[in-house]
Structure 1
Amino acid sequence: MHSPTLSPPDRATPPPAGLRTGAVCAFLAVALTVLVTARWSPLMSLDRTVGDALHRRAVAEPGLVGVSRVLTDWVWDPWTMRALIAVAVIALWRGGARVLALWVAVTSALAAVVQQGLKSAVGRDRPRWPDPVDSAHYAAFPSGHAMTAAVSCGLLLWLLRRHAVTPPVWRAAAVAAAVSVAGVGATRVYLGVHWMSDVLGGWLLGAALVAFSVAAHARYTSDGRALLPPRS
């Protein structure tokens, strides 16, 4: 008699890439928040060094300051980003993908709640300069502009990927998103209204939230596309 063939033991299914990305970003965001709250000296020193260098340049470059203020206050403003999300939500709702529309809306709203909650909890002061080129109010950490841009651009890219847009459209959207997320962070530090770590915290939190939301939606819909109406 032949001995029965033993099947190899089942291996645990690895977590989806989005979940792993979210976990890494969340871990780094928590670590950064702890360091900011504790006012870890090396981080505070680096923030001050970068802030001082950029502020000296800003004072000497009024033209670039004007362009930066237009970009940060209008083009990449959190309300502009939320308006883009609102347009996408309305389009999804009218197209019949109502659960997906609600998923995107709730993710965007949750980002605002997390952002404001952390600002209140950490209570970090914004940079103060004897010759400011711009001003902002409320607590500094995390940067609301950076976090909102990361969440909004991440969600919009996810929706475009789900719709299987053509490669040129995808590349253009990816470049626009990258420029927007990086640009808004750079302008906030350049204008002297945020520390570098405020922006980094906003990026990490935004990336973690989008990654978790995408992974949760994929699990909820089994294959990640079940709630998208078929393309005509």
Structure 2
Amino acid sequence: MLLTVLSAVVLPLLLFAAVTWQVTADGPLAEEDERLARRMREDAPPAALAEFLADLGNIEVALPVLAAALAYVWTRGRRRRPPPAVLAAAAAMAAVPALVAPLKALTGRPGPLGGTGYFPSGHAATAVVAYGAAALLLASVRARPRWARSVRWALPAAAALLCAAVGAGLVWRGYHWPLDVLGSWCLGVPLLAAVLAASGGSGRSGRPGQGRPDPPGGC
């Protein structure tokens, strides 16, 4: 578990540092990034679909999803105080603007449609943390029926696909370069690792008849 968490923190941050260096130095990776964006926009789906996917990264859309997951896990645990995973998820969401806004000002990357301050993408970071944390929280809840246990582990995969769709929509609509999205993913993964660490072991259930019985629910 510790090795997994460390890998989810160190490697993404190293990749983020490399991407940031290429973006700020206008290196060859940044040039290829812009060429890739132009090719993606040429092959983009209908504008309405691309816009819909990009809008899934709006705080007005993503935050209620996370808030619903926070409320469900907290109330299911029947605790007066929020469990550590809920606090970690809320802190991770609050960290998104605290990290993204200064980085946008420092890098000042021009956007596909003009202007500056596009790296990293706030919409992509919001989607990764909100949907990813919601999936991890829901997956951490003990589910008795076998079908429910199977479904809950599909939630992180569904969140990953959703975040990929948001990133593609942002590039298709010309709101961001691909590296803007990748940089946000690199920032979001360590935040999700903190949520995973806070909920560690909560999804495991002991064998019947061994140890104390499982609580009615929790995270």
TM-score bin (small chain): 0.7 to 0.9
Once residues 137 and 74 of structure 2 are traced to their aligned partners in structure 1, the CA distance between those partners, rounded to angstroms, is 13
**What is aligned with 2:68?**
87
**What is aligned with 2:98?**
113
Residues 58, 123 of structure 2: 8 Å contact kept: yes
Does 2:107 match 1:122?
Answer: yes
Q: Which amino acid aligns with 1:89?
A: L
**What is aligned with 1:65?**
47
Q: Which amino acid aligns with 1:112?
A: P
1:138 is displaced (CA, Å) by 6.1
Q: Which amino acid aligns with 1:71?
A: L
Residues 123, 139 of structure 1: 8 Å contact kept: yes
TM-score normalised by the chain length of structure 2:
0.79
1:67 is displaced (CA, Å) by 1.3
Once residues 194 and 4 of structure 2 are traced to their aligned partners in structure 1, the CA distance between those partners, rounded to angstroms, is 10
Higher Rg of the two aligned structures: 1
Once residues 103 and 32 of structure 2 are traced to their aligned partners in structure 1, the CA distance between those partners, rounded to angstroms, is 22
Once residues 151 and 123 of structure 1 are traced to their aligned partners in structure 2, the CA distance between those partners, rounded to angstroms, is 23
1:225 is displaced (CA, Å) by 3.5
Other structure's SS at 2:38 match: helix
Q: Which amino acid aligns with 1:225?
A: S
Number of positions where the alignment pairs a residue of Structure 1 with one of Structure 2: 199
Residues 133, 192 of structure 2: 8 Å contact kept: yes
Identity %: 31
**What is aligned with 1:98?**
82
Which is further off, 26-35 or 158-167? 158-167
Residues 78, 144 of structure 1: 8 Å contact kept: no
1:224 is displaced (CA, Å) by 4.5
Unaligned regions of 5+ residues in structure 1, if any?
1-13, 130-136
- In 2 relative to 1, CA 194–210 (structure 1 residues): closer, same or farther, beyond 3 Å? same
**What is aligned with 1:43?**
29
Does 2:58 match 1:77?
Answer: yes
1:213 is displaced (CA, Å) by 4.2
Does 2:160 match 1:178?
Answer: yes
Once residues 149 and 69 of structure 1 are traced to their aligned partners in structure 2, the CA distance between those partners, rounded to angstroms, is 15
- In 2 relative to 1, CA 198–88 (structure 1 residues): closer, same or farther, beyond 3 Å? same
**What is aligned with 1:19?**
6
1:85 is displaced (CA, Å) by 1.3
1:118-150 Cα shifts (integer Å, max 9, x gaps)? 112211111138xxxxxxx76211111211111
Once residues 231 and 174 of structure 1 are traced to their aligned partners in structure 2, the CA distance between those partners, rounded to angstroms, is 23
Residues 143, 202 of structure 1: 8 Å contact kept: yes
1:110 is displaced (CA, Å) by 0.9
Residues 19, 212 of structure 1: 8 Å contact kept: no
1:39-93 Cα shifts (integer Å, max 9, x gaps)? 11x11221121122122334xx6xx1111112222x4433311111112223344
| RMSD of equivalent CA atoms | 2.6
